[in-house]
A and B are shown apart, each in its own frame.
Chain A
Amino acid sequence: MTTKMKKIISIFLCFIISFGIYFYICLIVAPKDINDSGGTHYYRGMGFMAEPVNSLDVVVYGNSDVYSGFAPAVLFDKYGYTSYASGRPLQTLNNINLLLDKTLKTQKPKIAILETDCFYKESKFQIDESNILLSPFMFHSRWKELKARDFYKIPSRKNKVDMNKGLVPSNKVFKTKYSTDYMGSKDAKPKPMPKENLKYVEQFVNTCKKNNIEVFFLELPSASSWNYSKHNYVKALAEKHGVEFIDMNTPLDGYELNLKTDFRDNGNHMNINGASKATEYIGKYILEKYPNLLKDKRNDKEYSDWHNSVKHYNGLLNKV
């Protein structure tokens, strides 16, 4: 064997060995369970991947507001619609587009709801967090909680059905310091969102239209992060794209926010009390706006598992 050949083989072996070690580390640190740190990102945000194929009617995309304030169990219990809350902390619009593409691989939702709080979060990198090779970067706090099973169990999103369908329920009640006029003046100057995000909104709307998915924008109640400046801007943007914009921070028929009972923190995220009310209103809106689009699946045996989710949710609700 020539020296050159030896060199090539040793370089090749170095790469193989180091890649093998790195890949094993990726497997170790990837969350194995919803309750592991990063599990919310890894499973709940993409939990629709574990749902039966083509079983979801509605998918809601957004940041922590979504997984705090949208309760799929309520939507099923009251209207018989199946849904998923695909929310992640500090979610960005470019990553939402990635999630939408992933959704379409296994689901054919009839309605996609885009929560608008993340419109103001700058989208810098588009990272596919489901890529196992990025696990050490994405779930870098995991090393602090590693258990024996992490060293041999292979992470898998399939068969990890989330009972809460993406919702992170909180029983905590926080009396916010905000008054009902937290939105400020109705005539407030529209606050533009980062320019880059405009193209991601357009991409989201276009993908939905191409796949015959009805889409609307939604702003869940958020006293600490939302105001009329943002509302006015997003409203104009929604009109430009020809989609509806439901802002639950503004007066709405059939919905009233309670700043003393509906939040788990100081006006940023809702508790399950707030989530129930908000979801019920969203269900009513869907029923009125798209009366024949979705079927009531409460008596459909194929969806009988959803009753367990409702039961589980009601159990939590009773603890408030």
Chain B
Amino acid sequence: MPYFMMTMLLIFTAVTIAIYAVCPRRQRYIVLLAISLAFLCYISKFTVVFILATVLTTFLSGIIMDKITQSVDIKALDKEVRKKVKAKIKQKKQIVVLSYIVINVGILLILKYFNFFALTTTNILNKFGGNYEPFILKIALPLGLSYYTLQALGYVIDVFRGKYKAEKNILKVGLFICFLPQLHEGPFGRYDLLMPQMEKGDNINVNNLYNGIAKILWGLFKIFMVANRASMISDAVFKDNGKYGGVTILLGGVAFTVQLYAEFSGYIDIARGISKIFNIELSKNFDLPFISKNVGEFWRRWHISLGAWFRDYVFYPVSTSKFLRKSTQKLSFNISNFVTITISLLVVWFLTGLWHGASIKYVCYGLYYFILMILFNIISPYVEKILAKNNISNDNKILISIRVVKTFLLVLIGMIMFRAENMSVFGNMILSIFKNGEYFNLLKILEMQDILALIVSIGILILGAVAKIKGIDIEDKFNNLSSIKKYFVCFALFTVIVVFGAYGLDYLPPDPIYGGF
């Protein structure tokens, strides 16, 4: 997030707190919506119409589906008739959902992916002798397009499935979709979990206020103390990737991994902190991803809400689809199971890759994880057998360490692919790991004091992770402190960020990686 937008977000939050506190409880959700919309208008300008279109279609889809469901009293019907009516109702609701997807995923495709498809198609046509100029759409993306589209889609699918009834108040649907803190980088929220908290309009109490402020500061610490400095190293390596080899490429990859984690989880902490002030608990998006023993576990700990979204709204529907069931019914149970999982994972990872960005690189990034997971599914039973034969328990610390390091290296390759300009650069960088390159002078990129600040800050992150592994809940410990102690902890964190943080003229902010999606 650019400094300007981050400053505005914090200013808008302060204004929200002031208005929210003096507003009657029942109207507080309107305050949250109004400020969120004001921020959106301020940042996204006229493109705010797209998010308003999503709000309107989401609201209408829910209402129409509810009306369809309520149009017939199913319980009063015979079993046979009931079945037929149910199928008809489902069919009608499917039409609503499909129309909704066409409109909203259509907006997403046009705004985000049109240029990618136009360029790719033109390139292909020109390769076959054509001479076409690509038609490029010059339109700014509304803030959080990829996030709110999927979140809203989740709501519509849930209403379709009958998980909960449609919301009858368009303002509440609007708040669910436009809620300011989570709009920029998530996490993806679920309507049934968020709305009860949002509409309650709880008072702002001291505990939530300190907890929220501490989370915001912790997020800022990650961004300004870690991400912004690590980005200077990764930028230098990736910018001149052709020059370097061996350890330097790995250093660049590790720096980028650290940057991405610190930046993304930092923004999530800020989002969760702002929400916490209003006693709204946003879902967790990270849970010590670098202690994962395999890539599957990594994705259950990294960008958790995205993984959960694709699991619930893509993996399950695809794996239980009639088409797959029919196609695999003649196969044996094990093979049918394997084929079903493989095809479902392929769809999930293709879409996950594409969600990250409109380029071949991101599609390959998704498919890379698909291949790793399939390989894991194939190989792991054999590995388990070998381990059992040799009496090696899965709790063996050496085995766990090897698995964690292996996972980190696989993730590192993924990160290099993610950061490299294109697949060709990625290929060259991977090959360069095994070659010698030019000497990389880190001190030309960062001053010694900056390097020390980075090391100490990463050390603090690691200490936090170790404490969590050992079952020490730092958040809980903070919450149990007296108000005065909480105040001084927050003040100390604030002072450290202000004095030692990497921001301003000497440290131009890196582009927010996940904010661009």
Contacts and interface: CB of A to CB of B under 8 A. Distances in A.
Interface of A: 10, 14, 18, 21-22, 25, 29, 89-90, 124-125, 136-138, 140-141, 143-144
Interface string B495-510: 1001111011110000
A22 B495 contact: yes
Given A89-B505, A143-B500, A25 B487 contact: no
8 A-B pairs closest in CB distance? A144-B449, A136-B498, A18-B491, A141-B506, A136-B499, A14-B487, A140-B504, A143-B499
B449 A140 contact: no
Contacts of A10: 484
Contacts of A141: 504, 506
Contacts of A124: 4
Given A25-B495, A144-B447, A18 B503 contact: no
A268 B92 CA distance: 66
Contacts of A22: 491, 495
Contact of A18 (B4, B488, B501, B504): B488
Contacts of B202: none
Contact of B488 (A14, A125, A136): A14
A22 B491 CA distance: 9
11 contacts: A10-B484, A14-B484, A14-B487, A22-B495, A25-B495, A25-B499, A136-B495, A140-B503, A141-B504, A143-B449, A144-B450
Contacts, number: 38
A30 to B, nearest CB: 12
Given A136-B499, A140-B506, 11 more contacts: A14-B487, A21-B495, A22-B491, A22-B495, A89-B505, A90-B505, A124-B4, A125-B7, A137-B498, A140-B498, A140-B504
A18 B487 contact: yes
A254 to B, nearest CB: 37
Contacts of A143: 449, 499-500
A89 B508 CA distance: 14
A143 B504 CA distance: 14
Contacts of B500: 143
Given A10-B484, A22-B495, A137 B504 contact: yes
Contacts of B487: 14, 18
A22 B341 CA distance: 58
Contacts of A125: 7
A155 to B, nearest CB: 16
A144 B449 CA distance: 6
A46 to B, nearest CB: 17
A125 B491 CA distance: 25
Contacts of B4: 124
Contacts of B504: 137-138, 140-141
A25 B499 CA distance: 8
B491 to A, nearest CB: 5
Interface string B344-368: 0000000000000000000000000
A101 B146 CA distance: 46
B515 to A, nearest CB: 18
B275 to A, nearest CB: 25
Contacts of B447: 144
Contacts of B450: 144
A14 B491 CA distance: 10
Nearest to B498: A136
Contacts of A25: 495, 499
Nearest to B224: A140
A18 B495 CA distance: 10
Interface string B275-316: 000000000000000000000000000000000000000000
Contacts of A21: 491, 495
B487, B499, B505, most chain A CB atoms within 10 A? B499
